[in-house]
Structure 1
Amino acid sequence: MLRNSLKHYLGTYDKYVSEPTFLALIFKPNKYEGNTYQTPFGDLSPCGEQQVTRPGPLLPFNSLSLLGFNFTNTLCQFDHYHFHISLSSPSSSSSSSSLISTFEHTSFHEKSRMKFMKIGTKPDTFYTQEASRILITDTPNDLVIRINNTTYHLHRSCLVPKCGLLRRLCTDSEESDTVTIELNDIPGGADAFELCAKFCYDITINLSAHNLVNALCASKFLRMSDSVDKGNLLPKLEAFFHSCILHGWKDSIVTLQSTTKLPEWCENLGIVRKCIDSIVEKILTPTSEVSWSHTYTRPGYAKRQHHSVPRDWWTEDISDLDLDLFRCVITAARSTFTLPPQLIGEALHVYTCRWLPYFKSNSHSGFSVKENEAALERHRRLVNTVVNMIPADKGSVSEGFLLRLVSIASYVRASLTTKTELIRKSSLQLEEATLEDLLLPSHSSSHLHRYDTDLVATVLESFLMLWRRQSSAHLSSNNTQLLHSIRKVAKLIDSYLQAVAKDVHMPVSKFVSLSEAVPDIARQSHDRLYKAINIFLKVHPEISKEEKKRLCRSLDCQKLSAQVRAHAVKNERMPLRTVVQALFFDQESSSKGASSRSESQELFTRGKETPTDEHSMMHKLHLGPASTGKAKNVLEEGCKRGEEKTRSSTDPKKIVWKGTGSEHKHHISRDR
């Protein structure tokens, strides 16, 4: 590619120089072997020089981007080599500026370097005196440029020939007069102007993706084009932007991010659109062809060997972008209909983790009121934007991500539309959630309880509405899948109840409301629910008898396993009604009589009236009329029977409780 670059370079240069032109390459490499240096042009002796007369033979090596025209003493860097490129005319000496250019490297390591350009050969002689920037020179200053609070004392002879704007403003002034010009509205401010001024003095300036945008806009403002002066700054910057910046991954991202300071200028100059197109093009590149440096910090990834980059290699780098720019990149990538929804969802996940400091943790503490007020609006806008960008495809983002977004949306007071949409999306995937996903912090300052049970209840209610609607629409088909779905959610909710029951500040009403929200058909076994209630009673020993009854109202002792019923019979924390019910079904399960079994089915099947007091329960147990005192005696007798029965089949010190559908055995110590 160097052959073509030099041909183009010399062909363009020929428009300005009529004399024969020589290209001298003077190598100063770092690699040394014996008496020769290893260079892309072969072995050269120290300080070797090779001259190529236009259009003489050009020895090919990796492509070099030669930027701009009419250069002399151009110092370049390639790999480990440093060499000089000088353009000269045999009949005259040129006095134009110098340039350090960058290369398109072939190896992955070389491509990881960000591009840079250095223009000029003279040292920086600007110094600051109070609020003024002055150039050390013997020539008196005759041009004063004021930019806000900074004043530059310069020379018309250097700036006017290259700056079309200054040339127009200085037209009517006498050569002996000192001209004062105010440029308060120059894009990039004083720093950008100083870069342009140093170029006019041939002072060395360093340009990269970090400051290119400011320099481009300022040179455009000052009209430093080729039509004003050959080899001017603006065409050099444009060539550097198109030839190097847009070819680099991180260069394009850094440049795009820097456009936020000058949005209108960058939009009008097409910088934003070109950077976005460059980024999207690289995102869509097959992973086998990705060779540029990128950031990827997933846990454990660096320790493993990989034959190609991961599909989401680009997500962390674009998360550095401003929200509006990030949205533009994602929108442009989605418009190609090439990226799968899961990759879009992963990018949204990474971006949210990057900019919401409390997203990964289950706590929103650590922020003062003032800090929260300053950040809430920004975070609210981020949540609203991210939710609008989530693909409609189910599974494009995880349920854990959605639930955490719901929690944060509540915390930052996002719009009602945003919260409603998040709850709807969360309910569609609730069966995929884990217990950890549901353990979201409470945001209410008036409540002391730790977990946001209201949020879980809202999502559960939305899920049940959808489930009932689907059940009605699929009376004969898909019932198995729907039943599996709701039973999976029921197990999840019961596990959640066990977790929140350990919160000493958890109100009985919230626990009961959530436990009763699960339909009867969803729970094949009530073992998990019993465990949750038992934990709650143990952590909250101060609750009243009425609250205990409310707590156990949703518990169906008929759906308890034999081991759990045996535990319930001896559980002193349980209300008397529940203990008697457990005893009844414990005896009923061991009964062989068909008539007795039929009667119990009639009495205690869901949807029919179940005895709710000790008197009727005692009567059904054929123990005769029971007063309150007798009920206690019967209970004690039943406990003894249950204990003897349990001891005959279990360890005398502990009862093994096997929860339905669980892979683990929970050992519950006898509560006596």
Structure 2
Amino acid sequence: MKFMKIGTKPDTSYTQDSSRLFRHLTASNHPPNPISLIKIYLHCRILVTDTPNDLIIKINNISYHLHRSSLVPKCGLLNRLCTDPEESDSVTVELNDIPGGANAFELCAKFCYGITINLGAHNLVDALCASKFLQMSDSVEKGNLYPKLESFFHSCVLHGWKDSIVALQSTAKLPEWCENLGIIRKCIDSIVEKILTPTSEVSWSHTYTRPGYKKRQNHSVPRDWWTEDISELDLDLFRCVITAARSSSTLVPQLIGEALHVYTCRWLPYFKTNSHSSFTAKETEATLEKHRRVVNTVVNMIPADKGSVSEGFLLRLVSIASYVGASITTKTELIRKAGLQLDEATLADLLLPSQSLSPHLQRYDTDLVSAVLESFLTLWRRQSSSNSQLLHSLKKVAKLIDSYLQAVSQDVDMPVSKFVSLAEAVPDIARESHDRLYKAINMYLKVHPEISKEEKKRICRSLDCQKLSAEVRAHAVKNERMPLRTVVQAIFFDQESSSKEASQVLVSRGKEIPMNEHNMMQKLHLGSAETASSIGKATSIREGGGKTREEKISSGTDPRKLVRQGTGSEHKRHASRDR
């Protein structure tokens, strides 16, 4: 950071009480005389010298008792306001609208008295605006304050990375003045120029605290080296910098996305923790409004390019948008963006906390996941069915949703309706296997033993036992939590699978396989839509003794026994044909 020191006379401090420290102007119009300390009486600041004070400057509730002979020659504004410099009486001037307030005026007043002032990026903008307001230009007196400050601004502050950011941040207090003087534009141009500098040429100090970076053997400057420093800017200034950087067309969308991610983590405290509960009691409407502005602005700046931000970032942003009460337009746009790349999400990305803080309501925000899933499916339905890439994405999403169902099924407050809605939202074509779905259903039934038989049937309606692996199907046959209809389906397809295996053995030996009922039943599809009609056919196959399986089950026969009986008789028939 660069600093400029002007003046030679010492600056002293006086403490009125232990809790308040003031910096005071000390000076003398006549160097041989001793410099006296400004006296402070409440809100009155008096410069005591051997010359009487004849100029009172009032800034809001503070009065400065100074000397016209020191200030008027250097300040064009005071020169005009003090029309009669020979007047012996004290002149009072109110400068309530001076940019930078009392602190900025004190810097200018100290310069007039030759007292040492230290200027840097943190206070330069205030001093620039105040000296411009007081008309402290070279046309008033050679070597005046404003041209000195302007020279320091251009030659030092704008050349530094962090100086430019600090100076730009300080313009937030005086936006109109800084805009008119071109300070904002010059700071932004300087910052963007450095952002676009090739990383091999970046030699200035910058902040980069990402986990693991210091452990790397290659200490080359990362491409996103600039993101943490500009995250300190106010929202509007940050937006201006990002907009200017994007307009160059040389910054890749992923870097813009990373800058948005860093800024969001900096200004939304619950973004990293992925939890809202610890902040709710402290949130005020003003804070929520500030967070709403951050969310709305960040969403509007997300590049349209897919993958410019991660799916996890989008999902957490949707969750926070709902929590802080962002606009419907903002939430809709976020859900649309999240739906576009749902196939890139991980299970951890989906495990977002519920918006409700009640201990008796569900733990996870399944409504949000359902909305994003529906957005993804809407896109899929609009595309051609022959789009293999989109079909691949659909299958990835199906696996992700089934894994999500396994996780949320362990929530004791998870309603049946929401579980079923998510399970049935996935199209049949997306699930090549129903093993994950079965595990989710089994876990839900285990955690929620109190649900009714009808609710169990409703939960299992989306389960296709034909798409279960042999191991999982064997588990389903023995599973006492499953409704009877699901067990019967598992039995039927287990036997059908055994029949197919036996048939393949016969074919390999050159034997002819007669067409029978079992071959015809292979044409049946017991998906969620046909379950009710197909189950009747499946259980009507005649067994030894003349009773159907349906009759045996209704009479109390354990379905698992039927599996062993059916499998044994089937093996006997194949063995006799083989002989």
Q: Same fold (TM over 0.5)?
A: yes
| Equivalent-residue separation in structure 1 for 2:68 and 2:61 (angstroms) | 21
* Match for residue 450 of structure 1 among 363, 368, 389: 363
Once the two structures are overlaid, the 10-residue window that deviates more, 387-396 or 132-141, is 132-141
Cα pair 1:353 1:360 within 8 Å, conserved: yes
Q: How does 1:290-329 map to 2 (within 5 A)?
A: 290-329=202-241
Uncovered stretches (5+) of structure 2, i.e. residues with no partner: 13-23, 25-37, 504-514, 569-579
Cα pair 2:46 2:64 within 8 Å, conserved: yes
Cα pair 1:618 1:631 within 8 Å, conserved: no
Q: CA deviation at 1:465?
A: 1.3
| Equivalent-residue separation in structure 2 for 1:607 and 1:453 (angstroms) | 22
Q: Pick the structure with more strand per residue.
A: 1
One-letter amino acid of the structure 1 residue matched with residue 493 of structure 2? F
Q: How does 1:299-378 map to 2 (within 5 A)?
A: 299-369=211-281, 371-378=283-290
Cα pair 1:611 1:617 within 8 Å, conserved: no
Once the two structures are overlaid, the 10-residue window that deviates more, 576-585 or 628-637, is 628-637
Cα pair 2:270 2:279 within 8 Å, conserved: no
* Match for residue 512 of structure 1 among 420, 426, 433: 420
Structure 1 residues 164, 344: CA separation in 2 closer, same or farther (over 3 Å shift)?
same
Residue 471 (structure 1) aligns with: 384
Cα pair 1:116 1:208 within 8 Å, conserved: yes
| Equivalent-residue separation in structure 2 for 1:639 and 1:500 (angstroms) | 33
Structure 1 residues 234, 620: CA separation in 2 closer, same or farther (over 3 Å shift)?
same
User: 1:640-672 CA deviation, whole Å, 9 max, x = no partner?
Assistant: 67999xxxxxxxxxxxxxxxxxxxxxxxxxxxx
**Is 1:209 the equivalent of 2:116?**
no
Q: How does 1:211-290 map to 2 (within 5 A)?
A: 211-290=123-202
One-letter amino acid of the structure 2 residue matched with residue 595 of structure 1? N
- Give the 3-state SS of the residue equivalent to 1:259 in structure 2: helix
Residue 635 (structure 1) aligns with: 559
Residue 415 (structure 1) aligns with: 327
**Is 1:124 the equivalent of 2:11?**
yes
User: 1:95-150 CA deviation, whole Å, 9 max, x = no partner?
Assistant: xxxxxxxxxxxxxxxxxxx0111111111252432111122423221111111111
Residue 160 (structure 1) aligns with: 72
Structure 1 residues 292, 198: CA separation in 2 closer, same or farther (over 3 Å shift)?
same
User: 1:448-504 CA deviation, whole Å, 9 max, x = no partner?
Assistant: 0011111111111111111111125xx4xxx32222111111000000000100111
Q: How does 1:647-666 map to 2 (within 5 A)?
A: none
Q: CA deviation at 1:525?
A: 0.5
| Equivalent-residue separation in structure 2 for 1:579 and 1:607 (angstroms) | 15
One-letter amino acid of the structure 1 residue matched with residue 177 of structure 2? W
**Is 1:566 the equivalent of 2:474?**
yes
Structure 1 residues 642, 444: CA separation in 2 closer, same or farther (over 3 Å shift)?
farther
| Equivalent-residue separation in structure 2 for 1:148 and 1:374 (angstroms) | 27
Q: Pick the structure with more helix per residue.
A: 2
Once the two structures are overlaid, the 10-residue window that deviates more, 187-196 or 436-445, is 436-445
- Give the 3-state SS of the residue equivalent to 1:456 in structure 2: helix
**Is 1:524 the equivalent of 2:437?**
no
| Equivalent-residue separation in structure 1 for 2:522 and 2:381 (angstroms) | 27
| Equivalent-residue separation in structure 1 for 2:201 and 2:553 (angstroms) | 84
Q: How does 1:367-446 map to 2 (within 5 A)?
A: 367-369=279-281, 371-444=283-356
Q: CA deviation at 1:370?
A: 6.0
| Equivalent-residue separation in structure 1 for 2:132 and 2:414 (angstroms) | 65
- Give the 3-state SS of the residue equivalent to 1:375 in structure 2: helix
| Equivalent-residue separation in structure 2 for 1:417 and 1:640 (angstroms) | 59
Structure 1 residues 523, 161: CA separation in 2 closer, same or farther (over 3 Å shift)?
same
Q: CA deviation at 1:516?
A: 0.4
Q: CA deviation at 1:333?
A: 0.6
One-letter amino acid of the structure 2 residue matched with residue 632 of structure 1? G
One-letter amino acid of the structure 2 residue matched with residue 491 of structure 1? K
One-letter amino acid of the structure 1 residue matched with residue 3 of structure 2? F
Structure 1 residues 351, 466: CA separation in 2 closer, same or farther (over 3 Å shift)?
same
Cα pair 2:496 2:522 within 8 Å, conserved: no
User: 1:209-249 CA deviation, whole Å, 9 max, x = no partner?
Assistant: 11001101110111111111111111110000000000000
- Give the 3-state SS of the residue equivalent to 1:551 in structure 2: helix
Once the two structures are overlaid, the 10-residue window that deviates more, 436-445 or 549-558, is 436-445
Residue 524 (structure 2) aligns with: 603
RMSD: 2.2
One-letter amino acid of the structure 2 residue matched with residue 579 of structure 1? V
Cα pair 1:319 1:350 within 8 Å, conserved: yes
| Equivalent-residue separation in structure 2 for 1:391 and 1:608 (angstroms) | 41
One-letter amino acid of the structure 1 residue matched with residue 375 of structure 2? S
| Equivalent-residue separation in structure 1 for 2:374 and 2:495 (angstroms) | 37
Structure 1 residues 373, 643: CA separation in 2 closer, same or farther (over 3 Å shift)?
farther
| Equivalent-residue separation in structure 2 for 1:531 and 1:607 (angstroms) | 17
- Give the 3-state SS of the residue equivalent to 1:121 in structure 2: coil
- Give the 3-state SS of the residue equivalent to 1:535 in structure 2: helix
User: 1:608-645 CA deviation, whole Å, 9 max, x = no partner?
Assistant: 7445698754323637244586453142524767999x
One-letter amino acid of the structure 1 residue matched with residue 267 of structure 2? W
Q: How does 1:514-593 map to 2 (within 5 A)?
A: 514-591=422-499, 592=502
User: 1:521-551 CA deviation, whole Å, 9 max, x = no partner?
Assistant: 1000000000000110111111111110001
One-letter amino acid of the structure 2 residue matched with residue 448 of structure 1? L
* Match for residue 618 of structure 1 among 530, 539, 552: 539
| Equivalent-residue separation in structure 2 for 1:374 and 1:467 (angstroms) | 41
| Equivalent-residue separation in structure 2 for 1:333 and 1:577 (angstroms) | 62
One-letter amino acid of the structure 1 residue matched with residue 541 of structure 2? K
Cα pair 2:292 2:324 within 8 Å, conserved: yes
Cα pair 1:615 1:627 within 8 Å, conserved: no
User: 1:377-432 CA deviation, whole Å, 9 max, x = no partner?
Assistant: 11111111111111111111111111111111111221122111111111111111
One-letter amino acid of the structure 2 residue matched with residue 366 of structure 1? S
One-letter amino acid of the structure 2 residue matched with residue 166 of structure 1? L
Uncovered stretches (5+) of structure 1, i.e. residues with no partner: 1-113, 645-672
Residue 489 (structure 1) aligns with: 397
Q: CA deviation at 1:372?
A: 3.9
Residue 107 (structure 2) aligns with: 195
Q: CA deviation at 1:600?
A: 2.2
| Equivalent-residue separation in structure 1 for 2:566 and 2:543 (angstroms) | 17
Cα pair 2:477 2:560 within 8 Å, conserved: no
| Equivalent-residue separation in structure 2 for 1:637 and 1:399 (angstroms) | 49
Structure 1 residues 431, 614: CA separation in 2 closer, same or farther (over 3 Å shift)?
closer
Once the two structures are overlaid, the 10-residue window that deviates more, 330-339 or 611-620, is 611-620
TM-score, length-scaled by structure 1: 0.75
| Equivalent-residue separation in structure 2 for 1:512 and 1:417 (angstroms) | 28
| Equivalent-residue separation in structure 1 for 2:200 and 2:380 (angstroms) | 43
Paired residues in the alignment total 527
